[in-house]
Chain A
């Protein structure tokens, strides 16, 4: 296995008396999709927040591309190629879909906010709009779109920063079965294909989706890592089955 793009070692987060994460290890390969699953409250979103810098860990280290990024502000991590979506939508509701994507591109390019390389930016944005089939919504205001489209816009926004590591937090929540299937196709298409796509870390409650698309899966339960490996191994792991269904099912 090649050197991982992201490596978290013994990450611990405590809130008051509650331990949200306890010495969690996590590795994300430079290509492909890594899944992060676990029951409710297992600490998945907290782990995401630690990786993207919105939550400072109580202990442990996070290395990204060989750098210790513990002290990096979120925007610095973003500029180094990390990009994420949110479980609870964080749209720029006052802007059109196209402007949501353009602003993301501008934020990721030095001087973008002063109009540098504007032509290249426009090209990237249009390309991603058509790849995600968002063209028919491009001029609609983001605040008035249904959840399914918003999830796509958040994905598009993240892709506009041309990430090396894409973190998706529950991207299928609020989507119906058809939308989920379409999302799954897009995800696979975006990341595999020419091998130039970003590495993906996927937090997802739809276990079916995770089992289908991920090459590696890490399972958290009550803030600890209880399993890690390829989907076929993980789904047979007694600890995982116990975590989801209870002891006797294992």
Chain B
């Protein structure tokens, strides 16, 4: 099993505060890997560091065997690392079609008309709103747009940060179903999800982070009843 993405003892600090310390993890080709842990554990920082928004303080990030640590975000995006950040993953003032066209900005090969059409087919509701400003979409539609853009960019590695944040359960179910269908096509993913159940159902492999360190690893079945995981979310003595 060759690793598409490999973090090697990655450390990050913000103004003297350590956000990640010695985080090592691997995303094998064609696998879905989930990062679990409570708020402030360092999950989002991990993704932001991989995609170049945050500079690592130590350690290395290798994508297809090549070090990408410290490259600017647009260079990393050009390699096919597509990151849907937490919260606002869209350009609110651009129209829906312009948001989708941005998918091709870093990757000349991607974002063709066919890619965009295929992405819109996954979320037909977007097709009816192509010329509407993205900021006027509902929360769920905005997240669909963020996902559609990510798919249209033909990702080699797709990183999703809490796409369910602030959305109603029915919409989340739809989003997760779409993500599963994309994963089944063999696209590698690294995802963060607050809904542990959904994450465990999607993932081939999970890492549990706590206070910037990896505290547990394993396959979903092993983790589902793990004390460490439950404790990380709800405190000891829940069950």
| Residues of chain A whose beta carbon lies under 8 Å from any beta carbon of chain B | 16-20, 39-43, 146-147, 170, 173-174, 176-177, 205-211, 222-223, 235, 241, 244-249
B26-34, B73-81, B161-169 - interface stretch: B161-169
B1-9, B94-102, B110-118, B137-145 - interface stretch: B137-145
Does chain A have a CB within 8 A of B70?
no
- A249 near B197: Cβ-Cβ < 8 Å: yes
- B234 near A18: Cβ-Cβ < 8 Å: no
- A207 near B235: Cβ-Cβ < 8 Å: yes
Residues of A within 8 A of B231 (CB): 208
- Given known A-B contacts A17-B139, A19-B139, A40-B162, A245 and B234 have beta carbons under 8 A apart: yes
Q: Which of B17, B39, B200 contacts A146 (CB 8 A)?
A: B17
Interface mask (B135-165 → A, CB under 8 Å = 1, otherwise 0): 1111101100000000000000000001001
| Residues of chain B whose beta carbon lies under 8 Å from any beta carbon of chain A | 16-17, 38-40, 86-87, 92, 135-139, 141-142, 162, 165-168, 194-200, 211, 230-231, 233-236, 238
A sample of 21 inter-chain contacts (CB < 8 A) reads A17-B136, A19-B139, A19-B166, A39-B39, A40-B162, A41-B86, A41-B162, A146-B16, A147-B16, A176-B211, A206-B235, A222-B166, A222-B167, A235-B235, A235-B238, A244-B196, A244-B234, A245-B197, A246-B195, A246-B196, A248-B197
- B236 near A40: Cβ-Cβ < 8 Å: no
- A211 near B139: Cβ-Cβ < 8 Å: no
Give the secondary structure class of B's interface: loop
- A147 near B168: Cβ-Cβ < 8 Å: no
Min CB gap B168→A, angstroms: 6
- The distance in angstroms between the C-alpha atoms of A43 and B235, with both chains bound, is 21
- B165 near A40: Cβ-Cβ < 8 Å: yes
